[in-house]
Structure 1
Amino acid sequence: MAHKIAIVTDSTAYIPDALNRQYNIHVVPQVLVWEQKTYRDGVDIKPADFYQRQLATTTHPTTSQATVKDFKEAFEAAAKQADSILTIVLSSDLSGAYNSAVQAMDGFGPQKIELIDSRMISMALGYLVLAAARAAADGASMADCAQLVRSRIPHAGVIITPITLEYLHRSGRISGTKRLLGTALNVKPILELVDGKLHPSGQVRTTKKAQQHLVETVAAKLQSAKRFRVAAVHANAPENAQEMLALLCEKCQPLEALVADVSPTVGCHTGPGTTGLAWSIED
């Protein structure tokens, strides 16, 4: 039986595949360009393969937004199953995917499409998408699903730490001098999503201390929350992610706790070994 509401998102959410299949979520791939070849995130290249290659080469990939064509194809597939399509994408301050979706919507019909700029990325986006998908599966209306997502955006977030400054330097995010100094001191930057953009929120020496800092930071944010979901995200560092998630769950009791990949379109700037925590409060 066809769902009345279909959910579309982009690949930076990296919701675990089993959940994408369970709720029939349509995922539009972001784009990587590496050595003059174009790859669709999660389609032509998978995270593990991307990060292994990133370690083995000095050439730096670049990113491009999900294409209008790919959004149109996702809308067409969703339209075969639903009367309405709710599309939730990563922050428009981090990518032009939102603009691609707007262009793909032009002239599309007769299904209604509603587009939401989540202001999020990674599993902070993923949990918003899952909230909508679960509400739709329970029979909620399009308006109710959209309102649910918008109401939770201010109460979601993500914080990450790369294990090296090298890839931030390669992508032009920091200077060569700062990279050399940070590497000499074994400094690990802390980056937090604020107002739709990733901002430096501190720095810690050693990876272990950085990961402990992330756990303590997120636990403090969730201290007064009653209902929330968390995820540990990683760039080919599943054991570190599992350890962080276990430590966080010792400090709080989430409704759901997942481990997910960091999209290569994010990891090309932060590098393999990056770990982070995402959360979504539902109070």
Structure 2
Amino acid sequence: MSRVAVVTDSTAYLPRELMERLHIHFVPLQLIWGDETYRDGIDITPEAFYTRLPHSKTMPTTSQPSPAAFRVVYEDLLHKGNDILSIHISSKLSGTIDSATQARQAFPDAAIEVIDSLSTSMGMGFAVLEAARAAEQGATLAECKTIAEKALANSRVFFLVRTLEFLHRGGRIGGAQAFVGTALNLKPILELRDGRIEALDRVRTWNKALDRLVEIYAEAVAGRKPLRIAVLHANAEEEAQRLMERVKSIFNVNDIRETTIVPVSPVIGAHTGPGCVGLTFTAGM
């Protein structure tokens, strides 16, 4: 029986030690900044990105990986005798899944499954981790796919941005378009739902918006367990730490299986802007 190799993309931005331990492979999206192109998570780190962003006269744009980039990864893994499960950022936010699908077609006889996560960051990342853990235990490609799909079906992603400017400019604003043009001091609370960004609420101050974010998150969890919890942040690590402690305090410790704090990748940060924080979970895994 072939071993299953799990592939994702750089927007998952999983902790590097977990990726190495579970043999997870990733294909980077691209950040285009003036005349320079960076591979997300390889040529530019979140720290470098958020340090440069406030002082830049030009704003970065983003691009999906090419089918050729996926073919290189797939060919290497197939050559080593692996089946492949490839899990990627929502098709409603990026064309990455199209590139993966095109690459898949170059190997018509190979065991490759491509999943549109309809999510990103740790909303997708938990599914990647669960599939990779199953693969480590000898699960088949079909079993790993089922596990990933279950994790995705039981995950939700909520986030709070300082401004809608970056989402609006990047064309990723989705249902949050309704909030554009409202009072500038209102802080929008958003959800990644069915692969698109949707507006949930808007609150006048940042601290009250954080309170509301936690309240919405707690309501969404609604007794579901066991929980895997992630806090996401775009150059707001101290705030993310405080948010994690706050969230952990409202749940029974025995109901929490895993927690992690993850920086938002530069490609995602180009659309959320600095200061964004988010909460995600997957339950029942």
Q: Same fold (TM over 0.5)?
A: yes
Please tell me the residue identity of whatever aligns with 1:182: A
Give the corresponding residue for 2:35. Answer: 36
Please tell me the residue identity of whatever aligns with 2:27: V
TM-score by length of 1: 0.92
CA distance in 2, matches of 1:100, 1:178: 31
Unaligned runs of 5+ in 1: none
Give the corresponding residue for 1:140. Answer: 139
Q: Please say if 1:268 is aligned against 2:239.
A: no
Give the corresponding residue for 2:237. Answer: 238
Q: Deviations over 1:231-258 (max 9, x none)?
A: 0001111111111111111111321010
Give the conservation status (yes or no) of the 8 Å contact 2:126–2:151.
no
Give the corresponding residue for 2:208. Answer: 209
Give the conservation status (yes or no) of the 8 Å contact 1:83–1:111.
no
Shift of 1:162: 1.1
3-state SS of 2:183 partner = helix
Give the conservation status (yes or no) of the 8 Å contact 2:71–2:106.
no
1:171-190 alignment to 2 at 5 Å? 171=170, 173=173, 178=180, 182-183=183-184, 186-190=185-189
Give the corresponding residue for 1:282. Answer: 284
Give the conservation status (yes or no) of the 8 Å contact 1:162–1:271.
yes
CA distance in 1, matches of 2:186, 2:76: 46
1:1-283 alignment to 2 at 5 Å? 4-108=3-107, 111-171=110-170, 173=173, 178=180, 182-183=183-184, 186-252=185-251, 253=253, 254-282=256-284
Give the conservation status (yes or no) of the 8 Å contact 1:8–1:27.
yes
Q: Deviations over 1:89-147 (max 9, x none)?
A: 11111111111001111222764111111111110100000000001111111111111
3-state SS of 2:42 partner = coil
Unaligned runs of 5+ in 2: none
Kindly report the root-mean-square deviation, in angstroms, between the aligned alpha carbons of the 2 structures: 2.1
Shift of 1:164: 2.7
CA distance in 1, matches of 2:170, 2:5: 36
Please tell me the residue identity of whatever aligns with 1:259: I
Is the alpha carbon distance of 1:211 and 1:247 closer, same or farther for their aligned partners in structure 2, counting shifts above 3 Å? same
Equivalent residues, number: 278
CA distance in 2, matches of 1:182, 1:66: 37
Identity %: 41
Q: Deviations over 1:51-104 (max 9, x none)?
A: 111111242111111211211122133224443011111111111111100111
CA distance in 2, matches of 1:226, 1:166: 36
